Amino acid sequence: MISYKKELDILEKSNRFRKRKIFDNNIIDMASNDYLGLATKKKLFKKASKELLKQKYLSPKASLLVNGYSKLHKKFENKLSKLNKFEDAIVVGSGFLANISLIESMIRKKDILFIDEDYHASGILATNLAQGRVVVFKHNDFEDLENRLKEFNALNYRTMIAIEGVYSMRGDIAPKEFNDLALKYNSILLVDEAHSSGVIGDNLLGWYDYWNIIPSKNHIKMGTLGKAYGSYGAYILASKEIISFLENRAKPIIYSTAPSLFDITLAYFNFKHIIQNKVKIINKIKQNQNIIKKYLNIDVNSLIVAIEINDNQKVLDIQKYLLEKGYIIGAIRQPTVKKAILRVIIKNDIKKKDLLEVINYLQNFRYNRKKL
Ligand SMILES: Cc1ncc(COP(=O)(O)O)c(C=O)c1O
């Protein structure tokens, strides 16, 4: 008989076994990627519902390339490309599909992809589908990248550099030097902005905004809607030529149903809300970052606080302890990260008193004042 029990037993033994759970809604959320707390904003949800109910078709029905493309998709694409200053945009079903789309379709036989070792699992998976060569460089290490670019005579090839704006686990920001290298070596720069859009930059637009980079032909931005934008789905911003290439070559765009009309409409209103309220949102982000600096002495530039514990069982125990106190934080284990971490999301809707209480518990564990 075919069985996977042995593999599951191994996962259990090494504290790497996973199980999806439904948590009590009264538990205070400091684990999800709902960075700005939009997942509970019923007013915005109602606006999106009202808008959608005006339409004849309520679901996309087909791929973007058949007749699933609607005015609602286009309106959102136009808003995204205009505000982010990219030539063109295309919506995609999810960030996972967007990474597969970009890497699988764009890395042709003679091309080289240079990718950060901590790039999201969807991008790493896509490297198996890429036809060209894939070179992995050390996390956020632009010197290592430059050595690799030189080693492979990057100027003789069509190349792409793939990084994340804010890294999903450690919450650190990719340095601006990656853009300098992309320009110097005439490389396409792909930035996965899943955790940076809506969180960093003077206009809360993400990594390009944070470093004041005006997008040009070689720049690509991939953003997701399931995080700060409080919805589900993704988008790709790039030159007209690259977007047209994706429309013609990227299988998850051609052969998958167009993104949900409701999710896109909700993301549209949420995005508008973020832009209109950016000053207030930025102030709150800074306030929470300052609290983390003051009490935990950790410099945070995003809304992800990573605390290294390096023990798979211990992160689970700490998570369980906090759950009993009414808070949920992330317990991230190998293989997702090299060393187990607590991932605490200092969401904008967290009350100061709750943040301080969680910090107090974390301080106890961090300085071993509390034994489990
Ligand atoms: C950095 C990064 N890229 C891509 C994705 C995938 O996005 P989605 O959840 O929309 O599939 C995620 C999801 O967690 C992510 O963290």
Q: Note the pLDDT tens digit of each residue in 241-277.
A: 999 999 999 999 999 999 999 999 999 999 999 999 9
**pLDDT surpassing 90 at residue 368:** no
Q: Whose structure tokens read 């910090």? A: 359
Mean pLDDT of 32-47: 98
State the Cα–Cα distance between residues 219 and 179, nearest whole angstrom: 9
**pLDDT surpassing 90 at residue 164:** yes
pLDDT, position 27? 97
| Banded pLDDT at 15 (limits 50, 70, 90) | confident
Mean pLDDT of 287-310: 95
Query: What is the pTM assigned to this prediction?
Result: 0.96
SS3 call for 117: coil
pLDDT in tens, 330-363: 999 988 899 999 999 999 999 999 999 999 999 8
For the record, the structure tokens of 315 come out as 């992160």
73's CB contacts (< 8 A; 6+ apart) are: 60, 64, 91, 258, 259, 261, 264
Q: Is the CB of 235 under 6 A from ligand 1?
A: no
**pLDDT surpassing 80 at residue 111:** yes
pLDDT, position 365? 77
Q: Is the CB of 168 under 6 A from ligand 1?
A: yes
Q: Is the CB of 164 under 6 A from ligand 1?
A: yes
Q: Kindly provide the residue ranges of all beta strands, DSSP E only, lying in the chain, ordered along the sequence.
A: 28-30, 88-92, 112-116, 133-137, 159-164, 188-192, 219-224, 234-238, 304-308, 327-332, 341-345
Using DSSP, how many helices (H) and how many strands (E) does the chain show?
Answer: 14, 11
Q: In the chain, what percentage of residues exceed pLDDT 90?
A: 94
DSSP classification of residue 203: T
Q: Is the CB of 192 under 6 A from ligand 1?
A: yes
pLDDT, position 151? 97
pLDDT, position 25? 93
Atom from ligand 1 closest to the CA of residue 94:
10
**pLDDT surpassing 70 at residue 367:** no
> Contact at 8 Å (CB) between 195 and 167?
yes
Q: Which of 32, 33, 34, 96 has most ligand 1 atoms within 8 Å of CB, for mutation?
A: 96
Going from the C-alpha of 311 to that of each of 25, 33, 229, 307, the distances in angstroms are 28, 23, 33, 12
